[in-house]
A = this chain, B = another copy of it.
Amino acid sequence: MKIIVDAFGGDNAPLEILKGCAQAVEGLDIDIMLTGREDEIRRVAKENEISLTRMEIIDAPDVITMEDHAGEVMKSKSNSSMAEGLRRLANGDGDAFLSAGNSGALVVGATLIVKRIPGIKRVAFAPVLPKNQGCFMLIDCGANVDCKPDMLRQFGIMGSVYMEKVMRIKQPRVALANIGTEEHKGGELQHEAFAMLKNSNINFVGNIEARDIPYDAGDVIVSDGFTGNVILKMFEGTAMMMMSKIKGILTKNLPNKLAAALLLKDFKIMKKTMDYNEYGGAPLMGCAKPVFKSHGSATAKTFYNALRLTKAYVDGGVVDEISASVQEYKEKVNAGEAE
């Protein structure tokens, strides 16, 4: 398998990206195609003694920054490492594309260059996040601020396929993020999406209140991108705030420090299970070929995890499975069995 990597995406590019790639070539048995400034890639690799074995480099002079407007990926920055990587993916030069760069640009670039799966209305960011036990997918998490009910239906299907094929959860429970569990809760978007999800060929378990999201109430949480982004960041912010309070207690004074020494290992495990970085990033669901987004602040470890998940995204045949679901739905509509 060959994964195309944006060597200049994210705050720690290219060093941490190259480190993560070198580890993944070994650990995951993959080939890599790097896009970015070839000179700099070779220089950084040499200075840091990073092997470039099984890595091909495609020179791309421009870099999309976090401040760039999303559209620039197609305009003034069409020679960027991101745009070049997406073109290579579209051309079939690799099996997937991974970037830690500008999310907005990645959505625009992937949509226009790689294109969507025929029938899929919008691509969606869908991180897999830790919960009390195990993990869940939150879809969409910010790619689409305004959503139509049918988009939410498709998010549910795409999330269900991913969690089954990549995370190996049988019959993933799909739930709609809402302000109450009763069917009539929420606004028009939720009412219509509820009805559509109920009639879909997935394990839809109904509405879920945000309070229950961190618990084991759903494997796929469906939401518009605005709400999903708020859920993600509230989760992150609250968890971080709690962890800092715990740290405050454990380091408050000498007696506390002594007691903390005994508990440190367990608190470290807890922190690790809550660590967003362990999950590497988020697939961009709905693209015609696998595109994966790693965190802007990705370190080598995060990037390695992102490569691992990107590989699983390819191995799981997620794109084909979603295509088949869309096709099946279309046939149902044509046969008058669905709207």
Interface residues of A (CB under 8 A from B): 131-132, 142, 145-146, 177, 179, 186-187, 209-215, 225-227, 229-246, 249-250, 252, 255-256, 258-263, 266-267, 270, 274
Contacts and interface: CB of A to CB of B under 8 A. Distances in A.
A118 to B, nearest CB: 28
Nearest to A232: B210
B245 A142 contact: no
B266 A226 contact: no
A interface secondary structure, majority: helix
Given A241-B215, A242-B242, A266-B256, A231 B234 contact: yes
Given A214-B237, A234-B235, A249-B270, 20 more contacts: A145-B187, A177-B230, A179-B226, A179-B229, A179-B233, A210-B232, A211-B236, A211-B237, A213-B237, A214-B241, A227-B230, A230-B230, A230-B231, A234-B234, A234-B238, A238-B239, A252-B266, A256-B266, A259-B259, A259-B262
Contacts of A242: 238-239, 242-243, 274
B226 A187 contact: yes
Contacts of A142: 179
B210 A230 contact: yes
A293 B142 CA distance: 33
7 contacts: A179-B230, A186-B226, A212-B237, A213-B237, A231-B234, A258-B262, A259-B259
Contacts of A209: 233, 237
A73 B245 CA distance: 43
Contact of A234 (B213, B240, B250, B260): B213
- Name, among A132, A179, A229, the residue most crowded by chain B CB atoms within 10 Å (CB to CB): A179
A270 B245 contact: yes
A199 to B, nearest CB: 23
A303 to B, nearest CB: 22
A241 B252 CA distance: 23
